[in-house]
A and B are shown apart, each in its own frame.
Chain A
Amino acid sequence: MSVDYSKDMVLFDRNPELVELEELISKPIDTRPSKKYFIALAITSTMLLIGVIAAGITFYYGIGTWGNNQTIAWGFGITNFVFWVGIAHAGTLISAILFLLRQRWRNAIARFAEAMTIFAVMCAGIFPIIHLGRPWLAGYLFPYPNSMNIWPNFFSPLDWDVFAVSTYMTVSILFWYLGLIPDFATLRDKTTSKIKKIVYSFFSLGWRHSNRHWRDYEKAYMIFAGLATPLVLSVHTVVSFDFAAAIVPGWHSTIFPPYFVAGAIFSGFAMVVTVLIVVRKIFDMENIITVNHLDKMNKIILLTGSMVGYAYLMEVFISWYSGVPTEQYVAINRAFGDYAWAYWIMVSCNTLFPQFFWSRKIRRSIPAMFVIVILVNVGMWFERYVIIVSSLQRDFLPSSWTYFTPSIIDLGILLGSFGLFFTMILMFTRTLPVVSMSEIKAVVEGAQPSHHGGAN
């Protein structure tokens, strides 16, 4: 069978008018939200509130309210952190790497994916702070000049995390905002409300759709995409160093950086698909975010899922091949020990179920993919849980072996992080264009006339 790679993906099921696109995308912003929206918001904000209360209790009483113990000093906190950082990666990959690779189909989903990146990093960023024994001293992790001449320990992967995550957050926000500027201008031009006008005018930074603006914009966008690209790889690499640089059997492994990056993209795409399925339905954007888009993303999920599966196999193999008894034991214990249930959830959700995406039918079936991506989300959370907890649980000295049981506060905070994420998503869908208007217009048939005709 031969595939014609020179042909682009069909971007729209039915070629839309430019004004129609603009109307469609700005509709959620301009209209009053329905009752359903408020019900959804109520649910997510309740989840958020539960999380805030749980975090407040933690802050007041201490980490003792969590399930952690002397042997398993990291539990849900770091699991959630790594999970959310992972989720974030899809956004940058879509907006930056696919941009540089001229994958124009990304235009439909880039804005949303980027927003998710930011929200996920926000969720992630909370955990390293609240998991501290003394969160009010979190500032010690930053290098700031002080009278005692004390600096953070630059040897510590946790300190690298501080820089990696904060850089990622900053770049992501700037990149996102840059892309929003032309859209702000469009909204400013469209709106009749006075207040909105002021707000949009402020954020559009005086954009007048001039040629020169466009030229500068494209340049800047390209540069930011270039800046963000290495971050896709570096951030999760650094996060994986938290484990790889430690000596704990089950953590100390050179495969971790690529394995973590693959896992991050895997889980990120799964999350993007999960949310997009809902959003395109609710906002009638099935014509913009088409099954073709989802199909493409599912292919990436299939690829990265298989990479993750390879990493699982490789971990087991290396632990045997290394001849280190502690490593070997951790591998055996993961599969057959106290946390075998978690391990097999992880293996089946991450490597087994995505294999269904080999079938084009399943790849393009909304209900089937919805189930699979949800399972992937679950599996990827468990991956971090297994790595952290099952390694610590059976490390060097058998006398300290123990079991981790999460507390209700742990569960509350996890729920709260989802609450925060979805609350942000919901608010985002009603305040900003979820699809980049300027970018999507650029890929409509005839938007960029050329001598050869067609969309190219």
Chain B
Amino acid sequence: MPEEIDTKNKKTENKREPNYWKGFKEIYNDPEFSKKVNEDLTESKPKDANGMSRRKFLAFVGASAALAGAACTDYRDKGEIIPYNKMPEEISLGKPNFYASTCTLCPNSCGILIRTREGRPIKVDGNPEHPVSKGKICVKGQASILDLYDPDRLKGPLRKSKTGIFLKTPWLAANKTFITALDNADKQIAVITHQINSVTTKKLLGEFTKKYPNTKIYSYELFDNTIRNNAWKKSYGTDFYPIIKWDKAKVIVALQSDFLGTEGNRVENARLFAEGRDVDKVKNFNRLYSVEADMSLTGSNADYRLKLKPELQYNFVMSLLNEINRKTNIKIPINVSKFSLKSFAKKYSLDAKKVEFLVNDLIENSGKSIVYAGRSLPEKTHIAVNLLNEILGNTKLYNRKTSNYSVAGLSTYGDFYKLITDMKNGGVSVVIHFDSNPVYHLPDNMGYKKALKKVETVATLTESANESSEVSNFVFATNNQLESWGDAKTRTGFYSLQQPVIAPLYNTRQKEAVILQWVKGLNSKFKENLYHKYLMDNWRATIYPTLNSEIEFKRFWYGILNDGVVLKNEKIKSFGKFKNSSLSGLTTSPVKPNGFTVVIKESYALGDGRQANNGWLQELPNSLAQITWDNYAAISKKTAKKLQVQNNDNIKVDTGSGEKVYPVFIQPGAADNTVTIDSGYGRTKVGRVGEGAGFRISGLMSGKPTFSPWIYTNVKVARAEGTYTVVTDQEHHVFEKKPTENIFKKRGILFEGTVAEYEKDHKFLKNEREEERIVTPAIYPRHPELYKDVKWGMAIDLNKCLACGDCVIACNSENNVPIVGKDQIGRGRRMQWIRIDRYYSVSYDEPIISTQPMLCQQCDDAPCENVCPVAATTHSEDGLNQMIYNRCVGTRYCANNCPYKVRRFNFYNYRDRFKDGFQEEQLFDLIYNPEVTVRSNGVMEKCTFCIQRIMEEKAEAIREKRKIIGENVKVACQVACPTSAIKFGDINAKKSKFVKYRNHELGYYVLEEVNTKPNVTYIAKLRNTHTEES
């Protein structure tokens, strides 16, 4: 309901002003314009709550998408649809605009670059200017575009009635009642938030605390680096564990750490790690050892992988210290005599050879190696690891130029226990969930949800309904991160800026603006730019002066908004020598493992679960298990045998706070007696997409963990009744026995070698390929006149590819790939155009993992083309295998005949079928890339190398009267790849960088003997092992 200015509403409608996103118009500082903008933004529509009428919606979509001239992104404009008659300067129809911003979905606060079309954000990429993420962004950030257009978002503020039903309420009324509650709060006001990275948000919360002095701020993250930082502080005295120079490391030992997958800033880690995997500098190849219980992304990329239960990591590190002492006589300031590496390896059946390699490598590469303990390991292990790095001189790999920075620290479980006790005792009047979901995240045994019932007023600021909002009296619907202003500081040396790229789609407000309104009181009228102004003022007053900029503030401000970041000269606190005093708490005799261990792992796709309603993320297969839509209890084959369970059988897990049931997945390479479960699933109050996906883990966690908050030892595990089907896209073969032993190598799908082999003979792969080559005759006669001009090709460097799956989400977003849902994945009907193939070989216990991104190979002699009866898939003159959707009748013959199985058939109209038309709802249409056809039922589709981006370059070339430059085209997966493993370009541009990869001596085509002449080259993976054998 309109709370303010209803009359203006009318006025603006009459004026028929085009209404588009305003941020950049302000650059021109047009006062009249900004006035109008504010009027438009503040107008609040009664219809918003009910949704727009279908007619209007169609009119809107028709006008914006089809005509592309009348487009205007602001849904608040209910005026008639007319084309731009006064063209906004920054929008050229048909050309995308890019805006820099900051992702706020996790504590890393990476820089993002948002592609908008006619004012409508359609894709999120990394911001190349950002010093940490450098143009890359993880899957969560990429998929956040889908959160923006999520039809399940809250459409406006809600108030719980006495009967427990949520009622729509105007902002004014909600604020009024809530402010009264705040004013009347005589006891504690608790604000619970995720980690605060924004300087301005911190200031704002400070002002709130000032106004309501009995406020306390609590912050938490489901996964954090507290243990590592605390250990560091004990060892070295400074606050933060330093940033590691992975690129400089020759030997990396990851102990129960998934630094390439989920720990720390994985985008940065992956990039730096991959710099040590450059085939052109093979001498600099790093060697990765992974010692872990679960099968992580890091483990799958390791040159050597050892299985070890997490509680034994301490013994392992101490044994390493002992062994190094024995071999080198380096003094160890702690008694490690009881730890013998040999007997340890024997006892826990670690491969003695691998352990020997590891020790020798560490000694030989001292100063160039790094041992990295996982964040979930307990403090003493971290201290022991710090010591190990110290005595090896590995402190050289600590980055001393920049360090992590925390705007505000996190609360401990102790703080929360205190809060909960207060709540139970009636000592808390108001609880505000500031975009956080503690009911879901906090361990169940802390009793937070129950305690919340004792609190009179509970408010939740959130984008969409969640477990915490469900038990609140007030729900304040907040903006998506793409509709919000903000700043972030996570490291020394720079600030990151966040700006909205679209006006709020619903009757929502930025969460900071809501608080600010409370601070200011109702006497000050709400304006959409409230927080924007506050942010600017804060910057002008506090940050701008510290930056010593010579540019006048306004211009400076636009400049940094444009860049998304601003650099700052900052010195970091230097750390000194290792403090031996920190060793006092370390036990000097080995700890013994007993029973089962449960490892709670951050889900690669879903993280802590706040994006559980995001279909792209739910449907992103775990790159190893290839499981979608669920989490599961991963156990080893031996453990499964012991428990007498098969895949999909239920097991009950009891960490001390009751039995919880999970379906089993037998993970090759998992450590015995260990159960690994991903976080982020099992949301009970979530939108339609996330409903029923997986199982929650808070029941396993404890507020008073004995070992570590994410690892529980001595757990009771037993077989439970029933089964639950977990769906996967790839069968779980381990190609260990005939006739399928190493089948993928024999068939020429994956060639691998070792660094030693390559150094000895750069052409080893070529020779190998020559030997095994069977030339199948070509189907078509040669046409030397073809492909004279440009011919598109791709090269994928398997040395750099980590199999993370970032490319999959990028492709989904760029190419309008539909979500199909769990049942369809279970039926083998995945739609993603690019996928990560995973092959296990050697054995179930110690598998070797080979992965490979697979997409349309754009074969010159494409087997799909000659079998299509209606010529719906044809070849273009620049070497692309095209799909003509309009012509396709859906015989699926092409899919059968495709040896790479990369063609995707629309078995249903998935937009209609998935969750009852979820993808056909009003807002959903706005997410589509207007350059790519939205496919319907019965049509075949597949990757076409982002032909729309190629056409963009073509148009540009024609306009500029030049030739097409291959490297100007950046395809979506290439842009997203955090390690830049994907290269794209013109095969005929002989001098280009791309062609070097295309003709690389390690390059090969998949299934060469089929002779389809693919245009995707794979650079064979080199394993950095000690032998020449791969």
* A326 CB contact (under 8 Å) in B747, B890, B896: B747
Q: Binary interface profile of A, 93-135, with partner B (CB < 8 Å = 1, else 0)?
A: 0000000000000000000000000000000000010011111
Cβ–Cβ < 8 Å partners of B863 in chain A: 246-247
Asked whether A153 lies within 8 Å of B913 as measured between CB atoms, the reply is: no
Beyond A69-B828, A153-B871, A156-B868, 12 additional pairs, beta carbon < 8 A: A63-B938, A64-B824, A151-B871, A155-B867, A156-B867, A246-B863, A329-B743, A332-B739, A396-B1007, A397-B854, A398-B735, A399-B839
Instruction: Give B218 Cβ to nearest chain A Cβ, in Å.
Output: 46
B888 interface contact, C-beta 8 A: yes
The answer, yes or no, to whether B891 is at the interface (CB within 8 Å) is yes
Question: Measured between alpha carbons, how far is A66 from B693 in the docked complex, in Å?
Answer: 25
Q: How far is the CA of A62 from the CA of B746 in the complex (A)?
A: 38
* Bound-state Cα–Cα, A155 to B867, Å: 7
Q: In the bound complex, do residue B868 and residue A73 qualify as a contact, i.e. CB atoms below 8 Å apart? A: no
CB distance from A268 to the nearest CB of B (A): 26
Residue on B nearest A326 in the bound complex, by CB: B747
The one of B747, B871, B904, B913 in contact with A396, judged by C-beta atoms closer than 8 angstroms, is: B747
Determine if B888 and A133 form an interchain contact, defined as CB atoms under 8 angstroms apart.
yes
B731–A402 touching, CB < 8 Å:
yes
Query: Quick check: A158 and B867 within 8 Å, CB to CB?
Result: yes
- Chain A proximity of B873: nearest CB distance (Å): 9
The B interface is mostly helix, strand or loop, or mixed, namely loop
A195 interfacial by beta-carbon distance below 8 Å: no
* Mask of B739-777 contacts with A, CB within 8 angstroms, 1/0: 110011011010000000000000000000000001000
Instruction: Please report which residues of chain B, range 876-917, place their CB below 8 angstroms from some CB of chain A when the two chains form the complex.
Output: 887-893, 895-897, 899-901, 903-909, 913
Q: Is A71 an interface residue (CB 8 A)?
A: yes
| Contact among A63, A150, A402 with B905 in the assembled complex (CB-CB below 8 Å) | A63
B828 with A132: CB separation less than 8 A: no
For residue B140, CB closer than 8 A to chain A, the reply is: no
Contacts of A326 in B (CB 8 A): 747
**Bound CA span A151–B866, Å:** 14
Q: How far is the CB of B973 from chain A (nearest CB, A)?
A: 17
Contacting pair B906 A133 (CB below 8 A)? yes
Q: Does chain A have a CB within 8 A of B830? A: yes
Does A396 lie within 8 Å of B900, measured CB to CB? yes
Distance, CA A347 to CA B892, complexed state (A):
28
Q: A397 — which chain B residues lie within 8 A by C-beta?
A: 744, 749, 837, 854, 899-901, 1006-1007
Residue contact A134 to B893, C-beta cutoff 8 Å: no
Contact with B along A138-178 (1 / 0, CB 8 A): 10110000000011110111110010000000000000000
Can you list the 4 inter-chain pairs with the closest CB atoms, starting with the nearest?
A: A133-B890, A133-B938, A69-B828, A64-B907
Q: How far is the CB of A22 from chain B (nearest CB, A)?
A: 48
- B420 on interface, CB distance cutoff 8 Å: no
A70 and B895: CB pair below 8 A? yes
List residues of chain B with CB within 8 A of the CB of A329.
Answer: 739-740, 743
Q: B869 contacts A156, CB within 8 Å?
A: yes
- Find the residue from A133, A137, A155 having the highest chain B CB count within 10 A: A133
Q: How far is the CA of A69 from the CA of B937 in the complex (A)?
A: 14
* Sample (12) of A-B pairs whose CB atoms are under 8 Å apart: A62-B938, A64-B908, A68-B907, A73-B895, A74-B892, A131-B891, A246-B893, A247-B897, A247-B1010, A332-B739, A397-B854, A398-B749
Chain A interfacial positions (CB closer than 8 Å to B): 61-64, 67-74, 128, 131-135, 137-138, 140-141, 150-153, 155-159, 162, 242, 245-248, 323-326, 328-329, 332, 392, 395-402
A248 touches B897 (CB 8 A): yes
Residue B737 interfacial (CB < 8 Å): no
Residues of B within 8 A of A63 (CB): 890, 892, 905, 907, 938
Q: Which of B843-884 contact A (CB under 8 A)?
A: 852, 854, 863, 866-871
Chain B residue contacts of A157, Cβ below 8 A: 867
Whose C-beta in chain A lies nearest to the C-beta of B889? A137
**Is the Cβ of B893 less than 8 Å from the Cβ of A158?**
yes
List residues 934-977 of chain B with CB under 8 A from any CB of chain A.
937-940
- A153:B866 contact, CB within 8 angstroms: yes
CA distance A59 to B863 in the complex (A): 28
Q: Counting chain B CB atoms within 10 Å of each CB, which of A132, A332, A398 scores highest? A: A398
Given A74-B896, A134-B889, A134-B937, also A398-B909 (CB < 8 A):
no
Indicate if B730 sits at the interface (CB-CB under 8 A). yes
Q: How many angstroms from the CA of A404 to the CA of B60 in the assembled complex?
A: 43
CB-CB < 8 A to B891: which residues of A? 128, 131-133, 158
Q: What 1/0 mask marks residues of chain B from 820 to 835 whose CB sits below 8 Å from any chain A CB? A: 0000100111100001
Closest residue on chain B to residue A246 by CB atoms: B897
Chain A residues closer than 8 Å to B870, beta-carbon distance? 140-141, 152-153
Q: Which residues of A contact B903 (CB under 8 A)?
A: 70
A333: nearest chain-B partner, CB-CB: B739
Is B869 in contact with A153, judged by CB distance below 8 angstroms? yes
* A151: min CB distance to chain B, Å: 7
Chain A hits for B277, CB < 8 A: none
| Residue B733 CB within 8 A of the other chain | yes
- For the complex, give the distance between the alpha carbons of A72 and B898 in Å: 11
Given contacts A68-B892, A71-B828, A133-B888, contact A159 B869 (CB under 8 A): yes
